[in-house]
Structure 1
Amino acid sequence: MKKYQAYLIDLDGTIYAGSKRYPKAKQFVERLQAAHIPFKFVTNNTTKLPVDVVANLADNHDIHVTTDNVYTAGLATADFLDQRAGTTGKRTVYVVGEIGLRQALAAKGFTVDEDHPEYVVVGLDSDVTYEKFAKAILAIRSGSTFIGTNSDSNIPKARGLMPGAGALVDLVRYATQTEPIFVGKPEPIILENSLQQLGVAPADAIMVGDNYQTDILAGIHAGVDTLLTYTGVSTPAQVAQQAVAPTYTVSDLAHWDLEAGPID
């Protein structure tokens, strides 16, 4: 097994599950830090700012990193729309989502328009209402471009598998009969941007996650090796049915050696 120069790592279901600690995942991160191997948490979570992700890791999981170690689907969505709008495009948006997504878009110069936005962006929103959905649906049916932050059907929390952003996106898709443009995993852009920030080629990096349909497919689409840990969404039976297998699988991250790969 080659020694990877950088690790891209999912959070929910991989490093923790909501408030539930994963001690073996904490030790995995500490092994990366001790070996001075660059890593970035690449998460489809759009509800939090990077500073909040860092604080959550420190306060609730005793994992100590910096904002440079975090790249969210909210940031990736803002970067994608920034590139799409360019210097002359309209920067108006209606958002179904929380502060992490809203502030990322605002930082790129996008302003909220509830009636005729250029873009409608749908992400995870724990306070979503019928009226929010109605405004998003009416705007898309009137011609706004439909953006989905990610297609996660569920997210692992302490209570169990809770509805993810993809569940909200699907409601809007069904009501508009319009396919969204997705940005987060399993699309490759979030990994490509992360690798560019790290200065590492895809062949020298590995994507670590618990969800085949998002984490592992993102790695496959980006040309990155993949490591699936069975600590969250996907099960061995589900993964066995996939046409393309992860590069590696482990029961948990204690069974991954940075030099040798999977260990018994």
Structure 2
Amino acid sequence: MADRKNYKGYLIDLDGTIYMGENKIEAGTRFVKRLQDAGLPYLFVTNNTTKTPAQVQTRLRELFDIETPENSIYTATLATLDYMADMAKGDSAYVIGESGLKSAIYAKYKRETEHPAYVVVGLDNDLTYEKLVIATLAIARGAMFIGTNPDLNIPTERGLLPGAGSINKLLEVATRIKPIFIGKPNAIIMNKAVEHINMARRDLLMVGDNYLTDIRAGIDNDIDTLLVTTGFTKSEEVPDLPIAPTHVVSSLDDWTFSDK
């Protein structure tokens, strides 16, 4: 473990870090409140696209006793929209996903099933074969294939469930075209998150439970990392990780902030 630095800002995962499905991780709630009390800037950076930032804000307040501004929540949906605007490929899209993703994209792009400029694929609890057929054919016709995030699994109170990455993997096999992934650990969302919090990378710490997404997001994008073993990556896996996180704790209660 590296020596403790005086981190001035925090990028924080949600699923498996602050909560587990519908279950509160008490140390996660205390961690956020300690950040707020210390006056330290933070940004929740989540691969979850099923809810809007406003819905995430409400969920944090009502289920997990966390009051936080809406602009402290940066989702893979927002990063996807930023990327689509940068690409400027067209004004139409077909989306596999839930309301948080669909409402945001269809507010700016017209829905098109035959020849969309983009096919955007996120987690969809109402996934059907026909949705996969429409996406497969659209991608084959030349639509840009965007995956909101590569998470193969989601940590929940029920266990590890299939994630958006699993749906994207199916379409990748069907089309033989790899998606452009937006969410962690990819640079697209991390670059935008750094811009959003408006701090130097050397002053930031990426906090999360999933080595493959949260921690690699930091490692691959020059940001120190704090792995908390409350969700996806377990403590017994840590010695065998290919590149060690900067810090590892079993509970966010074990993390203390340096003096500002």
Partner of 1:36: 39
Partner of 1:65: 68
CA distance in 2, matches of 1:231, 1:153: 18
The DSSP-based 3-state class of the residue aligned with 1:222 is: coil
Q: Can you list the C-alpha shifts for 1:60-99, whole angstroms capped at 9, x where unaligned?
A: 11111111110000111111111111xxx41211100111
CA distance in 2, matches of 1:168, 1:59: 30
Partner of 2:99: 99
| Native 8 Å contact 1:207 1:216 kept in 2 | yes
CA distance in 2, matches of 1:161, 1:200: 34
Partner of 1:174: 173
* Equivalent position amino acid for 1:14 in 2: T
* Residue identity (%): 48
Partner of 2:140: 141
CA distance in 2, matches of 1:44, 1:75: 10
CA distance in 1, matches of 2:133, 2:106: 22
CA displacement at 1:106 relative to structure 2: 3.3
Partner of 2:26: 23
Task: Determine whether 1:200 maps to 2:203.
Answer: no
Tell me whether 235-244 or 142-151 shows the greater mean CA deviation.
235-244
CA distance in 1, matches of 2:178, 2:193: 26
| Native 8 Å contact 1:8 1:42 kept in 2 | yes
CA displacement at 1:236 relative to structure 2: 2.8
* Equivalent position amino acid for 2:29 in 1: K
CA distance in 2, matches of 1:164, 1:115: 26
* Equivalent position amino acid for 1:234 in 2: T
CA distance in 1, matches of 2:223, 2:10: 10
CA distance in 1, matches of 2:110, 2:70: 25
The DSSP-based 3-state class of the residue aligned with 2:80 is: helix
Partner of 1:150: 149
| Native 8 Å contact 1:97 1:122 kept in 2 | yes
Partner of 1:90: 90
Find 1:80's aligned residue among 78, 83, 88. 83
The DSSP-based 3-state class of the residue aligned with 1:90 is: coil
Note the residue ranges of structure 2 that are not aligned, 5 or more in a row. Answer: none
CA displacement at 1:152 relative to structure 2: 0.3
| Native 8 Å contact 1:188 1:219 kept in 2 | no
CA displacement at 1:229 relative to structure 2: 0.2
| Native 8 Å contact 1:45 1:72 kept in 2 | yes
* Equivalent position amino acid for 1:198 in 2: I
Note the residue ranges of structure 1 that are not aligned, 5 or more in a row. Answer: none
* Equivalent position amino acid for 1:36 in 2: G
Mapping for residues 113-262 of structure 1, pairs under 5 Å: 113-259=112-258
| Native 8 Å contact 1:207 1:227 kept in 2 | yes
When the two chains are superposed, the root-mean-square deviation of aligned CA atoms in Å is 1.1
CA displacement at 1:248 relative to structure 2: 0.4
CA distance in 1, matches of 2:220, 2:204: 13
The DSSP-based 3-state class of the residue aligned with 2:125 is: coil
CA displacement at 1:149 relative to structure 2: 0.6
CA displacement at 1:239 relative to structure 2: 3.2
CA displacement at 1:118 relative to structure 2: 1.0
* Equivalent position amino acid for 1:55 in 2: T
CA distance in 2, matches of 1:156, 1:76: 22
CA displacement at 1:20 relative to structure 2: 0.4
What TM-score, normalized to structure 1? 0.94
| Native 8 Å contact 1:8 1:191 kept in 2 | no
CA distance in 1, matches of 2:239, 2:211: 11
